[in-house]
Chains A and B, each alone.
Chain A
Amino acid sequence: MNDTYDVSGPLPGGVLDELPPGTNVAVIGPTMSGKRDVALQLLATGYETDEGILCITTDSAVTICNELERHVDALDRGRVGIIDTSGNDGQELLNAMTENVSSPSDLTGISIGAAKLSQQFKSRGVTDLRYGLISISTLLQYMSSKKVFKFLHVYTKRISSTGALGIYTLNTDSHDPQVVNTMIGLFDGIVELRESETGESEFRVRGFGRKPTSWERF
């Protein structure tokens, strides 16, 4: 088991280098601020050191695998599991185990998929897992924020009690600010992204029991 998860890739300047097992991190920001890319990099960072990736996606499994492959040499079916909630007929992938769920609102289906994949990882001796959920915003289009909140509370607890690392994305400009604040409260920390007035990508880090950082450029 990992003592810590290396997260030093995506954010420059040593702002966030490692996180303890059981940590849940949300990557948030407005549309087109690069959340998805940062989240995928966070998921992929430990891949070369034999960690596993278990990702719930509201897009197709193929899409997310293609995106992950931009950050790793090659995906190995034994260490990547995707829960595809897009409702498409899932095709068998060569580079990932997949579980198909009919809709993002099928929370029981999602939880069964996650439990199945985690058993697969266990039987293959993959003990360090990064869980992705991309994205919370899509779940919020299908269910009330109350239901999504309750689901995420249980889900984050699953991750903290199994010593994994959880990575989530949330679009800040597609929901009521109150809903965004309520959801943020579920996580140990937040990586917040924005585009500055001059068009530069910036980030800051809040939570994790530390002082918030100021906005910095990538």
Chain B
Amino acid sequence: MTDHDKPVILVAEDERSVAEGYELWLGGQYEVRLAYDGREALETIDDSVDVVLLDRMMPKLSGEQVLGVIRERGIDCPVVMVTAVEPDFDVIEMGFDAYITKPPERQELLDTIEQLLDRTTASDTLQEYHSLMARKGALQTQKTEEELAGSNAYQNLLERIETKRAAADENLGDMGSDIGFVSAIRDLEDDDFGDTGLDAADDFDDIELDDESAFDEAEDDE
């Protein structure tokens, strides 16, 4: 995100009136950058862009080609395909994170962008959720059920787990959607790129139940 704190949306759409229509809808909440063909989109995009809306059919470069170059450059922001025809499965395989059929409803456009912005934080939230769950798992192997039941720190951990799980699910959005589901899995693969380590397991030896700090560190020990 930029200094202005408004998420940046790049709209690549060759019909000027349509592009300006999107800008009108989105301009209140987001910083909107317009590109009128695929090449311009590639000139405009950089790491500050948070979501890209790509028209499928554009002169010079198609939406699919633009997506390919964006990914080649290592820019991993979510990309929405805007398409006049109901897309096939290939849109999912190409690596788009969502699609919208033309002409979109204003609310649909806003909801899609909001959900994708949320999902960009899902992987971090899942990371924190895993960390807390690993801590719980470690305590379960080291302590008896009675010890855990009597520990305030453990109860506190359980509450934090519930809160984090709810946050992770909220960020993920609707996993019943095919493209949303594949995009979410792709995100966590990208984030863990290089994490081929067969277990960089967290070291939870000798956690003391009365040691509150053992719990507080959970989010920082990745």
Contacts and interface: CB of A to CB of B under 8 A. Distances in A.
Interface stretch (A34-42, A43-51, A81-89, A175-183): A175-183
B115 interface: no
B123 interface: yes
B175 A154 contact: yes
A181 B136 contact: yes
Q: Which of B89, B93, B174, B199 neighbours the largest number of chain A CB atoms within 10 Å of its CB?
A: B199
Say which size band chain A's interface belongs to: 35 or more
Interface stretch (A58-66, A70-78, A110-118): A110-118
A108 B176 contact: no
Contacts of B212: none
B85 interface: no
Contacts of A217: none
Interface stretch (A90-98, A142-150, A197-205): A142-150
B204 interface: yes
Contacts of A151: 185, 188
B181 A115 contact: yes
Nearest to B165: A153
Interface stretch (A5-13, A24-32, A155-163, A188-196): A155-163
Contacts of B21: none
B181 A154 contact: yes
Contacts of B196: 143-144
A185 interface: yes
Contacts of A115: 89, 92, 178-179, 181-182
A155 B184 CA distance: 10
B141 interface: yes
Contacts of A176: 199, 201
B61 interface: no
Nearest to A183: B137
A149 B130 contact: yes
Contact of B175 (A112, A158, A180): A158
Contact of B130 (A116, A141, A146): A146
A107 interface: yes
Contact of A144 (B136, B189, B200): B200
Contact of A107 (B93, B172, B185): B185
A174 interface: no
Interface in B174-206: 174-176, 178-179, 181-182, 184-186, 188-189, 192, 195-201, 204
Given A107-B188, A119-B89, A157-B169, A181 B140 contact: yes
B133 interface: yes
A21 to B, nearest CB: 12
B137 A185 contact: yes
B211 to A, nearest CB: 17
Interface string B75-97: 00000000000000100110000
B96 to A, nearest CB: 12
A9 to B, nearest CB: 28
A189 B71 CA distance: 40
Contacts of A141: 198
Interface string B87-130: 00100110000000000000000000000000000010011011
Given A142-B198, A150-B130, A178-B138, 13 more contacts: A107-B185, A112-B92, A112-B93, A115-B178, A116-B89, A144-B195, A144-B197, A145-B134, A147-B195, A154-B175, A154-B181, A157-B169, A158-B176
Closest 7 CB pairs of A and B: A182-B137, A181-B137, A111-B185, A115-B178, A161-B176, A158-B175, A157-B175
Interface of A: 107-108, 110-112, 114-116, 118-119, 141-147, 149-151, 153-155, 157-158, 161-162, 176-186
Interface of B: 89, 92-93, 123, 126-127, 129-130, 133-134, 136-138, 140-141, 168-169, 172, 174-176, 178-179, 181-182, 184-186, 188-189, 192, 195-201, 204
